Each structure stands twice: as structure tokens, then as C-alpha cells.
A and B are shown apart, each in its own frame.
Chain A
Amino acid sequence: MSEAEIQHEYAILERSKKNPKAFGELYEKYFDRIFNYVFRQTDDEDLTADLCSQAFLSVLKNLERYEFRGVPFSAWLYKIASNEVNKHYRKQKGSKVFSIEELRIRELIEQANAGWDEEIIQRLMNYLKDLPTEMLEVLELRFFEDKDFKEIAFILDITESGAKMRTYRALDRLRKNFNLRIKYDGKE
């Protein structure tokens, strides 16, 4: 995201503090991305719609308190959405669902110069199933949302080195298990 874009969004946010209707532009811009992010963690369309709506309401409610902290506004939005999802799972007390798109998995495997077939995908699913939630969250933000480590750290409320460490560990296991030449940015 360019500096000009960040400045533009910041100006919209400043306007929104006085007039919440101005926030509509950012809502339209980010709704789909936030919806997909939440849907990947619930696999339930209606629940996702509820959590998204709750996340955006929370953003509007806390707009006064927003201040620029070196990451784009979208990172704050992801952080609030992530908190809503976690709140939901805390209430439910069930195991977290990760619903990932087959298309993206294929893309990632192809980028790592490996042929994919149903068996590899199945093995990968089993591998992901055994990963700790914290690692899955980092992988999701890194490879499905294309977030950099600084943003991931902000969203998950961890340090940047912590975010890198979790990704490296998950990918190291992936390399050993699948013989993939995958890099930290998802490319070979």
C-alpha cells in the first residue's frame, strides 16, 4: 500500500470521526476482504455476515480512538475482525474452523514448483490440522491475505519477530514433510 493511499484513508477516517457517513467509502472498499477473512475462519455464511457487521460496528464505535501506528488502517480492521472471531469461539468453546480455498492451495503448491494431486492436498490438510492455531492464523494472514509481518504482528497482537518465527517454523515443517521449496512470501 502506497504512502498516498495510507494518507487518503487517514483523511477519510478523520472526516468519519465528525461524520460517520464518510466511513462508507472504506466500508465498501474493505467489506469483501474482511468477509472472506472471517468466512475462512467460520465456514458459515450467516455467522460471517453477523461477525462482519459486528466488527464494522465496533470500528464505528471506536473511530474516535483510532490513531495511526505505522500500519495501514486495514490492519486495524483485520484486528477487530479477528477479535470478533475469537470472541465467538470463546463463547462456543469449540475447535476453530479453517476453511481454505482449494484454488489458493493449488496456486501455492504450483509456485513452490511442485506438482499437486489429491493425495498431496489430503496430506497437506492433515498437516494443517495438527498445526497450533497461532501458526495457522499467521499462515492465513501471510499466504491468503498477503499481509506483511509488521501487519500480522499488529493484527495478532504479537511481536514482528514472533510472527516471523511462527511462519518460519510452520514452513520448515512443510518443507520437510512435502519436499516443497516454498519461501516465506509464498514463492519459490
Chain B
Amino acid sequence: MGRNEIRLRRQKMSSGRIARHRNYGELMERHERGIKLRRMAVAAIYFLIIICLLIFYLVLRQREQQHKGVKQDSALVEKNKNGLQYQANPGSNF
């Protein structure tokens, strides 16, 4: 049973034929393109993180404001309630 495929080559690959595939300029272009893509991906990730943080901050602020509004409303209701009680019963010390 053969584990690998063994092939016998009559001739060695000529250096002229190999030279057709040797192109450092093209390799550099691919490398620079890769660097640009990587930088763009990193910038996009940072941008997304900033956007997420901003959304989180805005949501938090909105909730805080809502909470504050509810507190103010209940304080006002309480005050009004107390005011009404005083008017109805001015002698009571509450």
C-alpha cells in the first residue's frame, strides 16, 4: 500500500523556467497591498470600537436623564401632596 505518490522526473527544472516565476516587484506590490489592507482593517476595528463606546455612553446618559426626570417628577408629586395636606390641615406639624 503506497502512503505517498512518488514520481520520477527525467529532468531537473531549468533555471530559465524557474526565472519566469521569480518577480520581486510583484511580491513587493502584494506585500504593500497586504499592509494597506491590514491597516484599513485595524482602522475599521478602532472606528467600530469608538462608535460602540459612543453609543454606550449616549444610552447611559439617556437612561440617567430618564431616571433623573422620574425622580424630579416624584419629588414634585410629593411636594404637591404635602402642600395640599398643609392647605387642608394648616395646624398639623408634618
Contacts and interface: CB of A to CB of B under 8 A. Distances in A.
Interface of A: 20-21, 24, 27-28, 31-32, 35-36, 39, 43, 45, 48-49, 52-53, 56-57, 60-61, 95-105, 121, 125, 128-133, 136
Contact of A61 (B3, B4, B18, B34): B34
Interface of B: 1-13, 15, 17-18, 21-22, 24, 26-28, 30-31, 34
Given A97-B4, A121-B8, A57 B21 contact: no
Give the interface SS of chain A, mostly helix, strand, loop or mixed.
Answer: helix
Contacts of A101: 9, 11-12
Contacts of B6: 97-100, 125, 128-129
A130 B3 contact: yes
Contacts of A128: 4, 6
A139 B45 CA distance: 46
19 contacts: A24-B24, A24-B28, A27-B27, A28-B22, A31-B18, A35-B22, A53-B21, A57-B27, A57-B30, A57-B31, A61-B31, A95-B4, A96-B4, A97-B4, A97-B6, A97-B7, A98-B4, A98-B7, A102-B8
What 7 pairs between A and B have smallest CB-CB spacing?
A49-B21, A129-B2, A99-B7, A97-B5, A60-B31, A128-B6, A24-B24
B54 to A, nearest CB: 33
Given A35-B18, A43-B7, A95-B3, 11 more contacts: A24-B24, A32-B15, A36-B12, A45-B17, A60-B31, A97-B5, A99-B9, A100-B8, A101-B11, A129-B6, A131-B4
Contacts of B5: 95-98, 129
Nearest to A99: B7
B27 A32 contact: no
A85 to B, nearest CB: 13
